[in-house]
Amino acid sequence: MDDHQTIAALAALAQPTRLRTFRLLVEREPDGVPAGELARLVDVPQNTMSAHLSTLSQAGLVLGERQSRSIIYHVDLDRFRAVILYLLRDCCGGNATLCAPLISDLIPCCAPGEETQAC
């Protein structure tokens, strides 16, 4: 992960429809959501959703998987994790006590092996 990739990911999420789409895809993991259903759920025309999914895909945040005539979209959680880790790599200048509240806020939502909770 580098500055350019991180900026691309953050820029892709810096638009309301794309952010809503990303969050919806996170909620629907691991099943994913077909492109047409995403458009319906987010209440945008299919061609508009296609453009948003293209932006998210180019930033590496979502992946499309062809299943028959549909494309099922999934969040690339590994890429998203890499963005977050890149942002936190030198968290608080290496002072772990300053980062502890941030890390503890993430744990209820993101603890491995546990059901996801609303943050």
So what's the pLDDT on residue 119? 44
| Torsional sign, CA 64, 65, 67, 69 | positive
So what's the pLDDT on residue 112? 56
Could you say which residues of the chain have pLDDT below 50?
A: 116-119
**What CATH number labels 3-77?**
1.10.10.10
Neighbours of 44 (CB within 10 A): 17
So what's the pLDDT on residue 71? 94
So what's the pLDDT on residue 20? 98
So what's the pLDDT on residue 115? 53
Domain regions of the chain by residue span? 3-77, 91-119
So what's the pLDDT on residue 104? 79
pLDDT tens sequence across 92-117: 677 777 777 877 777 766 555 555 44
Write the DSSP string, 16-64: HHHHHHHHHHHHTTTT-EEHHHHHHHHT--HHHHHHHHHHHHHTTSEEE
